[in-house]
Homo-oligomer: A and B are copies of this chain.
Amino acid sequence: MKTPSTRATKKSTATKLPPVRAHAKQNLSALLSAAAEVFATSGVDAPVREIAERAGVGLGTVYRHFPQRSDLIVAVLQSHVEACSDAAAVLTSEYEPEEALARWLHRLMDFVGAKRGLATALHSGDPAYAALPGYVMERLGGALRKLLDRAIAVKAVRSDIDAEELLWTVATMCRGPYGEKPAYARKMVDVLIDGLRYGANP
């Protein structure tokens, strides 16, 4: 986040900013994308060694940046949550309120569908993931709330919907009773979106 050149000249002063080597951050982002690819390909249970190899770094480097395996999983999930959340702003600037909302719900669906394995890990009870549910709910719920309010403001959709409830509903619709593939999920979400529109002008 901060560049090494912004540091003070003297290193002996009390507030010592440890110099951050240039390639360290490159490695970190390379690790993140490598991990995302491997998780998508081989599942969240893929060996750390496979991720290190894909990123072209050593095992030590992986554990330097992510002391535990779960830290890597958390980081990948967070980056994807951020991407999904950020997509809301882009869609807002590019589409009408109603269309932006619909497109983002589809985006959310893709996100949830792709994270099947991650979700399983999430619910495993491992304390390493304890903070994630709240974070996901807050981040994505906030994004959805803005989209929703904007669509409500122009009377494109009904006004009695809570963002977190809608978020949870769509997320739930993407996982069948036992976690099967969401073959019918897209259709159901479309129906749900139509339902939002329908109620706009009762």
- Are the C-beta atoms of A179 and B117 separated by less than 8 Å? no
Stretch at the interface among A62-70, A72-80, A120-128: A120-128
Whole-angstrom distance between the alpha carbons of A133 and B177 in the complex? 9
> Within the oligomer, what is the number of copies of this chain?
2
Number of interface residues of A (CB under 8 A): 13
A168 interface residue (CB < 8 Å to B):
yes
B residues near A178, Cβ cutoff 8 Å: 122-123, 133
A107 interface residue (CB < 8 Å to B):
no
How far in angstroms is the closest Cβ of chain B from A153?
28
- Are the C-beta atoms of B123 and A179 separated by less than 8 Å? yes
- Are the C-beta atoms of A123 and B120 separated by less than 8 Å? yes
B residues near A124, Cβ cutoff 8 Å: 117, 120
Interface members, chain A 80-130 (any B CB < 8 Å): 116-117, 120, 122-125
| Among candidates B125, B133, B177, B179, residue contacting A168 with C-beta atoms closer than 8 Å | B177
| Among candidates B117, B123, B125, residue contacting A125 with C-beta atoms closer than 8 Å | B117
B residues near A179, Cβ cutoff 8 Å: 123, 125
Please give me the residue from chain B that is nearest to A129 by CB atom.
B178
Whole-angstrom distance between the alpha carbons of A53 and B43 in the complex? 32
Mask of A6-40 contacts with B, CB within 8 angstroms, 1/0: 00000000000000000000000000000000000
Q: A: which residues have CB within 8 A of B?
A: 43, 116-117, 120, 122-125, 133, 168, 177-179
| 5 more A-B residue pairs beyond the given contacts A123-B178, A133-B177, with a C-beta to C-beta distance below 8 A | A116-B125, A120-B124, A120-B125, A122-B178, A125-B179
